[in-house]
Amino acid sequence: EVLMVESGGGLIKPGGSLRLSCAASGFTFSKAWMNWVRQAPGKGLEWVGRIKSKTDGETIDYAAPVKGRFTISRDDSKNTLYLQMNSLKTEDTAVYYCTTKVDWGQGTLVTVSS
């Protein structure tokens, strides 16, 4: 069974930093292209970024609103995906999902507020 569990969300002040983790199991994580997708309260889905597998060059792409502030990384030895979020803004408030695009985690809520 595929399982992805996000963690690390919480309440953070504007300008602060937070690191999210996504622990994956039930599939060959090292071969998967992994994505972060977020959903602001009451709003639609927004793609945050993607990291390819090491064999595909581990290329990383980011959405324009987060480029330069967020960093996606992976540790294939731990089957874990990360999202380092810096210079957080109130508009980054959302539930953050990790996903292979087929399977999704349950999400972790990040609230940016003073």
Residues that bind another protein in the complex, under the rule CB under 8 A: 35, 37, 44-47, 49-50, 61-64, 97, 99, 101-107
* Pick 39 or 77: Cβ nearer another protein: 39
Task: Note whether 88 and 18 are within 8 A (CB).
Answer: yes
Q: CA–CA separation, 84 vs 92, rounded Å?
A: 13
* Pick 23 or 63: Cβ nearer another protein: 63
* Pick 49 or 80: Cβ nearer another protein: 49
The nearest distance, CB 105 to another protein, in angstroms, is 7
What sign does the CA torsion over 97, 100, 101, 103 have? negative
DSSP 13: -
Residue keyed to tokens 């039930």 = 26
Q: CA–CA separation, 19 vs 23, rounded Å?
A: 13
* Pick 15 or 90: Cβ nearer another protein: 90
The nearest distance, CB 54 to another protein, in angstroms, is 20
Task: Note whether 105 and 22 are within 8 A (CB).
Answer: yes
The nearest distance, CB 88 to another protein, in angstroms, is 19
The nearest distance, CB 30 to another protein, in angstroms, is 21
